[in-house]
Structure 1
Amino acid sequence: MTMFVSAIVMASLLVAAEDRDCSYDRTAMMALSQNEFDQNMSGGWRKLADAGCEREAADLIADWRTTHKSRSTTLYWHEGQMRASIGQYDAAIALFEKARKSESEDAGWGWNHYVDGTIAFLRGDKAALLAARTRLSLMPEPEGAKNAIDIHGNPVETVWPLNLDVLDSLISCWGKSYNEAYGCLGASKAD
């Protein structure tokens, strides 16, 4: 009976995957500025990700980076997230390592602690994840963090430390896939 149910679930997932439209206009995507490609929350690579086309989104980010000879840590990070979402943990870890900030860029922000925690989760190292979470939680709020603005100059509400909620989610949902654990704390609050 369980095998039959699993076969039905798998078949429905395959049908759902086949129903997704993961096509895009490569020329138009490559013509976008990095800001338009990466930070437009309803365009660029995100449109593919929102449609459930994480693999295509990851490949598109890699293509855009290569075409534009970009070494953007943000693009490495976002490609890594897409790779982790589809279970390509080794590739995601390599990309996350490239997403680290220099000491001077990260001074006071704790980005690299977030990177450490995420990599620890993907490696299945809970002790390292907990240690990264502790380091991030102890970061004092830098001056100017309350006055954050988005790329359009609009005020952004921030919760300090940045990304602590994501590490908490990875901890709370330990043992699940990255895709499930990344947002499960927020999902459990809604339930």
Structure 2
Amino acid sequence: MLTAIALLLAQTAPADCSYDRAAMLTLDLRGFDQDTGGWRNLSMRGCEAQAADLIRDYRTANAVPPDRIGLLYWHEGQLRANLGETAAAIALFEKAYKTPEQDRGFGWNLYVDGSIAFLRRDRAALDTARDALAVVPRPTGLDLRGPDGKPIAIRWPMNLNVLDGFQRCWDQPYKTAYVCPPTVGTTPAAR
């Protein structure tokens, strides 16, 4: 009985959202954004609001290169969307677009378009972005590597699975739809 009560209390206890802000703000960009020692550590502990605020603070406290700042806007936007802060998420996503040269062959901007369409509840725009992303060919010689330098396997086109999830879980919040599991027996064409 006491074990059951202890387990229940542990599951309902608020997350420990404390962190060393000064140390976080001095991390290099890779350590802050791509490693679990930066904002992701807070997010994984259930501290999405604190993680979003930390990304905002990091962005303003550091000289982030223009070609890299979009990812910080994107990650803060995802956290804001998870929190139901739709208008803020859309505004941040709009700052995450890449130039046509940066996006050539990857379809990032189509992913951004589809994500914004989902948040705006514009099904036609989501479908258009998804269909355009689905036909982006894999760039010749693409060699994607993780933070450890090892090759990583990624389904192509990147992020198509997310837009497919938005379609399948259209009536769900962003946080749920973002990880919406595939329906058994369906294909993208059978939407």
Say yes or no: TM over 0.5. Answer: yes
Aligned to 1:184: 180
Question: Please, which of 9, 14, 25 is the counterpart of residue 30 of structure 1?
Answer: 25
3-state secondary structure, aligned to 2:145: coil
Give the superposed CA RMSD: 1.6
1:157 counterpart = 2:153: yes
Q: Cα deviations across residues 137-178 of structure 1 (Å, max 9, x unaligned)?
A: 010111123x21123311111110000001011110001100
Question: Please, which of 122, 126, 129 is the counterpart of residue 129 of structure 1?
Answer: 126
Structure 1 runs of 4+ off > 3 angstroms?
none
1:90 counterpart = 2:87: yes
Cα separation, 2, equivalents of 1:152 and 1:47: 18
> What code does the residue aligned with 1:180 have?
T
> What code does the residue aligned with 2:25 have?
M
Q: Count the aligned residue pairs.
A: 172
Q: Cα deviations across residues 83-134 of structure 1 (Å, max 9, x unaligned)?
A: 0000001100011010000000001100000000000000000110010000
Cα separation, 2, equivalents of 1:53 and 1:179: 14
The answer as to whether partners of 1:168 and 1:185 remain within 8 angstroms in 2 is: no
Normalized against structure 2, the TM-score is what? Answer: 0.86
> What code does the residue aligned with 1:23 have?
S
> What code does the residue aligned with 1:129 have?
L
1:118 counterpart = 2:112: no
Normalized against structure 1, the TM-score is what? Answer: 0.86
Cα separation, 1, equivalents of 2:181 and 2:124: 19
| Alignment gaps of 5+ in structure 1 | 1-11
1:108 counterpart = 2:102: no
